[in-house]
């Protein structure tokens, strides 16, 4: 599967045939319920988009082959085998009585033989449908999920194939051989088509058989080879044991046991094939994409489309899109972050500085002071004239002091008297400078000067005032004593 044109590590979920661009769910979010008239339109050319769900999320069937062979070992298949073996013994008893010249009901014996092999196909079709729905738990032997009509249709499809071979034999024996070989190769396709459409006409339609084989591709050949090997498994088991035994009952019982086991494996394998290739076969169901709440879709659309526009060099279009979304959702942090990046690219200092403080305020409200510190570092490196709001500067400077980045803290606070704020805020800034000076080992006079300034501006008895007094006392104790 191809990747997204704008996120190299993401698979495509949408493809535009017009401009040959592929989009992941980050670039193009939402589902049918979000799109105008249910149609997804390319953000670049406005053409119709094709939904491309991921088929390759499932490993190829040969990588999970062990699961197929373990499938019949579950409780319900074992129960089915037990019932079938009991029925086999009853049927065989009737046959053996007839052979020995005793009373035997041939009608009952034949009926039981039909029931035995019919039940195997009946149960197997349910196995195929459940595995195709990614349900690996074996169905109940007497559960309501079984479809008797579908089993009858399967036998009608088999009979139709036999009639086709017989009819062509009157036209040409060679043609009949070719038809027989084709139908043998197409047998897994016939069963899978019937499982999808539940139509005998579709299952026996050679065009649909060829289409299914073509859509699945070369992997169908592997499926067919595996099916042939599995179908011959029962013959091998009964042959290897039967020639060494004189017991007809044992031979027939082994035949039923092996046929049931390998049929379950075969049907599970076909079900997994439908699961693995359901998008190619057009049986995925569900909607295209994932429908989101209107507001969430609007936000993600602005984020995704703006990313695409930036890659395509359509910066102004990306800017206007995010700007419009921010008017509708001013408190969304994702949109604020995207606008911040767009303004850095745009190089409009006035808008950037104005927006940055709103962005930083929201980050602080979310408790993400570390992101604010990194963003301020980035801005100051490019725009030394940038000054955050006093509230932001105070929060980030406090973080710098705790991190031991004293020069950064001092630089961010700068000249306290230059800040336009009330005396309590200025007191907290002086206190920050005093802490920075003390912990960085600067001259004690700088500690006391800033601490006195903080104490002077702070309200008496406030935490700032009390902390300033403690710093002053600490500086006095650390000062060298006269000899």
- Same domain for 66 and 43, yes or no, is no
Model confidence pLDDT, tens digit, residues 213-251? 887 777 788 778 877 776 665 555 555 554 444 467 777
* For the chain, percent of residues with pLDDT exceeding 70: 89
Q: Cα(84)–Cα(260) distance, rounded to whole angstroms?
A: 9
List the beta bridge partners of residue 14: 23, 51
pLDDT in tens, 350-364: 999 999 999 999 999
Please report whether residue 140 resides in a domain. Answer: yes
Query: What is the per-residue pLDDT for 238?
Result: 52
Co-location of 365 and 449 in the same domain: yes
pLDDT in the model for residue 167: 92
374 and 453 inside one domain: yes
> What gap in Å lies between CA 217 and CA 234, rounded to an integer?
28
pLDDT digits (tens, 9 = 90+) for 181-204: 999 999 999 999 998 888 899 899
Q: Is 220 exposed, middle or buried (CB count within 10 Å of its CB: 0-12, 13-18, 19+)?
A: buried
Q: Which of 242, 276, 310 is the last residue of a domain?
A: 276
Residue 425 in any domain: the answer is yes
CB-count burial class (<10 Å; 0-12, 13-18, 19+) for 432: buried
Closest CA to 150 of 188, 114, 191: 191
Q: Report the number of distinct structural domains present in the chain.
A: 3
Q: Which residues lie closer than 8 Å to 257 by C-beta, 6 or more apart?
A: 81, 85, 237
Per-residue model confidence as pLDDT tens digits over 420-476: 888 888 899 998 998 998 888 887 888 888 888 888 888 888 888 888 888 888 888
Same domain, 335 and 461: yes
Residues 69 and 35 in one domain: no
Does one domain contain both 122 and 86? yes
In a domain, 110, yes or no: yes
**DSSP-assigned states of every residue in 144-172:** TT--HHHHHHHHHHHHHHHHHHHHHHHH-
Whether residue 283 lies inside any domain: the answer is no
Q: What is the pLDDT of residue 244?
A: 44
Q: Are 165 and 82 in the same domain? A: yes
Is position 214 within any domain?
Answer: yes
* pLDDT higher than threshold 70 for residue 330: yes
Count Cα neighbours of 344 within 13 Å in the Cβ-side half-sphere: 16
The predicted model scores a pTM of 0.54
- Same domain? For 465 and 398 the reply is yes
Check if the beta carbon of residue 448 is closer than 8 Å to that of residue 427: no
pLDDT beyond 90 at 80:
yes
Does residue 95 form part of some domain? yes
- Same domain, yes or no: 198 and 334: no
Last residue of one domain, picked from the residues 276, 291, 309: 276
Examine the domain organization and report whether 122 and 271 are in the same domain: yes
pLDDT at 148 over 80: yes
Which segment, 262-266, 276-280, 303-307, is predicted with the most confidence on average?
303-307
pLDDT exceeds 80 at position 319:
yes
Mean pLDDT of 372-392: 89
Residue 301 has pLDDT above 90, yes or no: yes
Work out the angle between the directed axes of helices 75-99 and 106-132 (0-180°, nearest 10).
160
Helix (H, G, I), strand (E, B) or coil at 8: coil
What is the domain extent for residue 20? 1-53
Assess whether 82 and 48 both reside in one domain: no
Any idea what the CATH number is for the domain that residue 378 is in? Answer: 1.25.40.10
Q: What is the pLDDT of residues 396-411, one digit of tens each?
A: 999 999 989 899 889 8
Cα-flanking dihedrals φ and ψ of residue 205, to 5°? -85, 115
Q: For residue 145, is pLDDT > 50?
A: yes
pLDDT category at 110 given cuts 50, 70, 90 is confident
In a domain, 313, yes or no: no
Asked if 464 contacts 428 with a C-beta cutoff of 8 angstroms, the reply is yes
Q: What is the mean pLDDT of the chain?
A: 85
What residues have CB less than 8 Å from 248, skipping those under 6 apart?
92, 96
Could you tell me the sign of the dihedral formed by the alpha carbons of 248, 251, 257, 259, in that order? Answer: negative
Quick check: is 390 in a domain? yes
Same domain, 172 and 253: yes
Return the H-helix or E-strand segment holding 15: strand 14-16
Residues facing 48 on adjacent strands: 41
- Residue linked to tokens 């319920």: 33
């Amino acid at each position: 599967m191809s990747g997204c044109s704008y996120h190299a590590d993401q698979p495509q979920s949408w493809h535009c045939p017009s401009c040959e661009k592929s989009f992941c769910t980050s670039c193009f979010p939402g589902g049918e319920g979000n799109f105008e008239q249910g149609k997804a339109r390319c953000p670049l050319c406005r053409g119709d988009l094709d939904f491309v769900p991921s088929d390759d999320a499932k490993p190829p069937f040969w990588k999970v082959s062990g699961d197929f062979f373990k499938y019949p070992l579950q409780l319900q298949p074992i129960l089915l085998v037990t019932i079938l073996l009991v029925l086999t013994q009853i049927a065989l008893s009737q046959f053996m009585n007839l052979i020995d010249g005793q009373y035997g009901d041939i009608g009952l014996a034949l009926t039981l033989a039909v029931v035995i092999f019919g039940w195997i196909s009946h149960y197997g079709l349910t196995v195929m449908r459940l595995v195709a729905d990614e349900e690996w738990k074996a169905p109940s032997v007497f559960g309501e999920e079984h479809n008797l009509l579908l089993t009858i249709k399967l036998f009608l499809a088999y009979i139709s194939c036999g009639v086709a071979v017989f009819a062509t034999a009157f036209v040409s024996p060679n043609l009949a051989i070719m038809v027989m070989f084709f139908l043998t190769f197409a047998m897994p396709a016939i069963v899978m088509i019937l499982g999808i459409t539940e139509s005998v006409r579709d299952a026996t339609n050679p065009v649909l058989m060829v289409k299914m084989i073509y859509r699945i591709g070369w992997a169908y050949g592997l499926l067919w080879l595996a099916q042939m090997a599995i179908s011959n498994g029962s013959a091998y088991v009964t042959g290897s044991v039967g020639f060494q035994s004189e017991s007809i009952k044992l031979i027939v019982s082994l035949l039923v046991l092996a046929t049931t086991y390998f049929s379950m494996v075969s049907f599970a394998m076909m079900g997994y094939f439908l699961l693995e290739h359901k998008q190619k076969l057009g049986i995925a169901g569900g909607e295209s994409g994932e429908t989101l709440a209107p507001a969430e879709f609007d936000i993600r659309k602005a984020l995704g489309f703006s990313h695409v526009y930036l890659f395509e060099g359509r910066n102004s279009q990306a800017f206007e899109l995010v700007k419009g979304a921010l008017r509708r959702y001013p408190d969304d942090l994702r949109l604020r972050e995207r606008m911040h990046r767009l303004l850095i690219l745009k190089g409009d200092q006035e808008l950037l500085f104005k927006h940055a403080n709103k962005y930083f305020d929201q980050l602080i409200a979310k408790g993400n002071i570390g992101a604010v510190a990194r963003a301020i570092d980035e801005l100051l490196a490019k725009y030394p004239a940038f000054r955050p709001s006093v509230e932001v500067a105070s929060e980030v400077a406090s973080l710098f002091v705790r991190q031991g980045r004293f020069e950064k803290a001092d630089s961010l606070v700068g000249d306290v008297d230059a800040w336009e704020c009330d005396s309590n805020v200025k007191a907290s800034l002086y206190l920050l400078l005093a802490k920075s000076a003390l912990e960085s080992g600067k001259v004690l006079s700088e500690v006391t000067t800033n601490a006195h300034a903080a104490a002077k501006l702070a309200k008496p008895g406030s935490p700032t005032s009390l902390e300033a007094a403690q710093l002053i006392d600490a500086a006095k104790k650390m000062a060298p004593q006269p000899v």
